[in-house]
Structure 1
Amino acid sequence: MKDQIWIRKVILIAVCVSVAACLQVFADHFIYWKSSLLAEFWRLWTAHWVHVGWMHFLLNMLAFSCLPFIFPHVRNWHLVSLLLLLPPFISLIFYYYLPYIDAYAGLSGVLHGLYTAVSIVYLQYPKERKFAILVLVLIASKLIWENTFGQSGTAQLIGSPVLTEAHLIGAIGGVLCGSGYLLIGRKDKEQTH
């Protein structure tokens, strides 16, 4: 049974990386373009799966691929749910509240949301609680650093400016999703008792 769970996680990762690689070939048709976002609604999701280059793609796919193994209790349906909720959340915040963002591509905002949401959910596991707190502290520290001192050396590595607003919005989305999951779980437990 445990082997099947790991195999399913590997399949999910392979599917996501493959889809992102395919989208990357035609990136202009899938990135976030503010002027055409609502007319071409798929960009709400796809903008987060295309990247400014293959190095950017590689770094984000590596971070995404590590998540299910760092947090072994996370289920595929949790990840898929987050992958369906976080991209449009970030895109719509850009569209309605950050009008100066005309174009965007990359998974880093979603990654911040994924790691934040999963860490919050992991707070319920006593053996993993310290690790979850560590990850949350690291994410918060990174966000504070980026919003105080600016972006790190990642911009030089990927050859494009880093939109740190995406990281912050993604983390906020992660807090909402992770907290919502815990609240729903708590209500379900109360109703069964």
Structure 2
Amino acid sequence: MKDQIWIGKVILIAVCISVSACLQVFADHFIYWKPDLLTEFWRLWTAHWVHVGWMHFFLNMLAFSFLPFIFPHARNWHLCALLLVLPPFISLAFYFYLPYIEAYAGLSGVLHGLYTAVSLVYLQYPKERKFAILVLVLIAMKIVWENTFGQTGTAQLIGSPVLTEAHLIGAIGGLFCGLGYSLLRKRHREHTN
């Protein structure tokens, strides 16, 4: 059974990386482009799977690939649900609350949301609680640092400015998802007992 779970995680990662690489070839048709966002609705999701270059792609896919293995209790359906919810949450936040953002590409906002949501859910596992707290503290510190001092190292590496607002909005979306899931799970346990 454990082998099937690990194989499923590898397949999920491979599918996501493959889809992202395919979208990368025609990135202009899939990025977040504000003037076309509501008429070309797929951009709500695809904007987060295309990148400004292959180094940007590689770094985000690497961070995405680690998630299911450092949080082994996270099921594929949890991750898929987050991958369906977080991208439009971030895109619509850009559209309605940050109108100065005209274009965006990259998975980093979604990654911040994924890691936040999964860490929050992991707080329920006593053996993993300290690690989950560490991840949440590191995410919070990173976001505070980026919004205080800026982001230059990654920008130089990927050859494009880093939109730190995406990281903050992604983490907020992950906070909502993680807390929502935890509350639903708690209610379900109360009703079954």
Task: Bin the TM-score by the shorter chain.
Answer: over 0.9
| Offset, 1:127 | 0.1
Residue in structure 2 matched with residue 64 of structure 1 by the alignment: 64
d(CA) in 1 for partners of 2:31 and 2:124? 36
Corresponding residue for residue 132 of structure 1? 132
* RMSD over equivalenced CA pairs, Å: 0.4
Please say if residues 146 and 152 of structure 1, whose CA atoms lie closer than 8 Å, have aligned partners that are also in contact: no
Residue aligning to 2:187:
187
2: CA distance, partners of 1:144 / 1:27: 30
Q: Does 1:160 align with 2:160?
A: yes
Runs of 4+ in 1 over 2 A off after TM superposition: none
> Shift of the alpha carbon at 1:152?
3.7
CA shift digits 1:86-138 (9 cap, x unpaired): 00000000000000000000000000000000000000000000000000000
Where does structure 1 lack aligned partners over 5 or more consecutive residues?
none
Q: Secondary structure at the match of 1:190?
A: helix
Mapping of 1:43-58 within 5 angstroms? 43-58=43-58
- Map 1:14-163 to 2 at 5 A: 14-163=14-163
Q: Unaligned regions of 5+ residues in structure 2, if any?
A: none
Residue 174 (structure 2) aligns with: 174
Q: How many residues align structurally?
A: 193
Counterpart CA distance in 2 for 1:127 and 1:3 is 22
Cα distance in 1, alignment partners of residues 148 and 35 from structure 2: 30
Shift of 1:65: 0.3
- Offset at residue 160 of structure 1 (A): 0.1
How far 1:77 sits from its partner (Å)?
0.1
TM-score (norm 2): 1.00
